[in-house]
Structure 1
Amino acid sequence: MTAATVHAFDFDGTLTCNDTFLEFIIYDKGMARFLWGFMVNSPWIVLMLLRLYPNWKAKERVFSHFYKGTPLDDFDRRCRKFGASKKSRIMRPAGLKCVTQALEAGQRVLVVSASIENWVRAFFTPHPGLTILGTQVEVAGGRLTGRFLTKNCYGQEKVRRVMQVLPQRDNYILVAYGDSRGDKELLDYADVRHYKPFREGK
């Protein structure tokens, strides 16, 4: 019996041309508020760049600055609006075609991203074979707390999330697509690896 094929795609930089964490905040809040928010949080960002402060904590602080207290329904509405507006502009056509072809062939597709799951989902048409695995946000009383519910979906956390969804590793062939240091562990875990695919001319 032939093993099933599972495709695991990184999102930012692999399926998109831009980092959507920054792109979403700029789109939703405007450039002036974006710059002010980053200036307020600049000490943590500088420490992160110097590797003296965890990446996920700096990211969570920035996210909390902009979205703590936001009703979940409103946040999801903003995410859907962002996806509808940006999909044709920032998605790599070859990457989107690869996702579509895999789903049409009846294969399982995972999109594994350090970006927030809510807006990553907004870039894809719901499909039973498609699973979005992103960083999840904490909600209390219908509002975002500003904290992350899960670990930042980066590095080894990407592998852990894939294993959580598909634990029977011997039952499938894993094809992974990535473009950065955050995808190294996922690419190493895969049977077939594609580094920086879907670039111009591919």
Structure 2
Amino acid sequence: MSLQNKTIAAFDFDGTITTKDTLFDFIRFYIGKHNLLKGLIILSPILISYKLGFTRNDIAKQKLFSYFFKDKSIQEFNKVSIDYAKRIKEIVRPEILEKIKWHQAQNHIVIIISASIVNWIKPWASEMNIKTVLGTEIEVKNNIIEGVFSSKNCYGQEKVNRLIAQYPNRDEYVLYGYGDSRGDKELLAFSDHPTLIK
């Protein structure tokens, strides 16, 4: 289908659609607060290194993901992701939800572009009739999570790269962009109508 004269509304997820980062929230939902805190203590050296700017975002995130989910069943992971959709409803920003519905009512193409793992976004997105979720993908072999990403961390410039890969010919559509953090800076700069959520 040609996108000529079409409008795309691209929403970041964490902190834009939701009121908080869903990575830690999903981990807590999956394994409980006690196990999350225990893991964060063990991972504190890499987390501190990241906060101080010595470790890249993608490296710290992959180590965190690997610690909590390596060797887990993908079926179990996806089942919890479906259940997590109920939790997402509790942390969604009402004003952004209305903005999504407005774009849909205008027959705009609504997509989510997130650094988070696509698995726990897609069930909620599906309920919202959002068909396209571009995010960080995880490696799975023999139905077991490998603990590494199968795509680049969908952050910063990678968000623009993924958008262009999905929707090339930039001059054929109008782009609304919604984000809240430095990870959305490039996406907002790429948009015709950028909105920074504060």
Q: What TM-score range do you get, normalising by the shorter chain?
A: over 0.9
- Per-residue CA deviation, residues 121-165 of structure 1 (Å, 9 max, x unaligned), is 122235776310111111111111010111111100000010010
Q: CA RMSD in A?
A: 1.5
Report the secondary structure of 1:124's partner residue. helix
C-alpha distance in structure 1 between counterparts of 2:126 and 2:157, whole Å = 27
Residue 110 of structure 2 aligns with which residue? 109
* 1:105 CA drift (Å): 2.5
User: How many Å separate the matches in 2 of 1:58 and 1:88?
Assistant: 28
- Residue among 63, 73, 84 paired with 1:71: 73
State the Cα deviation string for residues 155-180 of structure 1 (Å, max 9, x = none). Answer: 00000010010011010000000111
CA contact (8 A) 1:10 1:183 kept: yes
Question: What is the TM-score when the length of structure 2 is the normalising length?
Answer: 0.93
Indicate the residue corresponding to 1:185 in structure 2: 186
What is the alpha-carbon distance in structure 2 between the residues aligned to residue 88 and residue 56 of structure 1? 27
**Which runs of 5 or more structure 2 residues have no equivalent in the other structure?**
none
How far off its partner does 1:87 sit? 2.7
* Code of the aligned partner of 1:76: N
SS state of the match for residue 10, structure 2?
strand
Q: Structure 1 129/171 Cα, relative in aligned 2: closer, same or farther at 3 Å?
A: farther
TM-score, normalised to structure 1's length? Answer: 0.92
Amino acid at match of 1:193: P
Corresponding position: 1:54 with 2:56: yes
Matched, 1:174 2:189: no
Q: Give the fraction of aligned pairs with identical amino acids, expressed as a percent.
A: 37
Distance 1:150 1:27, change over 3 A: same
1:122 counterpart SS class: helix
Q: Does the 8 Å CA contact 2:125/2:133 hold for their aligned counterparts?
A: no
Structure 2 distance, partners of 1:10, 1:139, is 25
- Distance in structure 1 (CA, Å) of the matches to 2:103 and 2:168: 21
Partner of 1:200: none
Deviation per CA, 1:54-103, whole angstroms, max 9, x where unpaired?
A: 1111111111111111111110000111112x133100112112212222
The amino acid of 1:106's aligned partner reads: N
Q: CA deviation at 1:28?
A: 1.1
**Aligned counterparts of 1:12 and 1:88: Cα–Cα separation in 2:** 13
Give the secondary structure class of the aligned counterpart of 1:174: strand
SS of equivalent residue, structure 2 residue 114: strand
> Residue 117 and residue 194 in structure 1: after superposition, are their counterparts in 2 closer, same or farther (change >3 A)?
same
Check whether the contact 1:17–1:92 (CA below 8 A) recurs between aligned residues: yes
| 1:123 aligned residue | 124
- Cα shift at 1:104: 3.1
Aligned position for 1:100: 101
Partner secondary structure for residue 7 of structure 2: strand
Aligned residue for 2:124, secondary structure, equals coil
Q: Which runs of 5+ in 1 are unaligned?
A: 198-202
Deviation of 1:12 (Å): 0.6
Structure 1 residues 33-63: Cα deviation after superposition (integer angstroms, max 9, x where no partner): 0011111111111111111111111111111
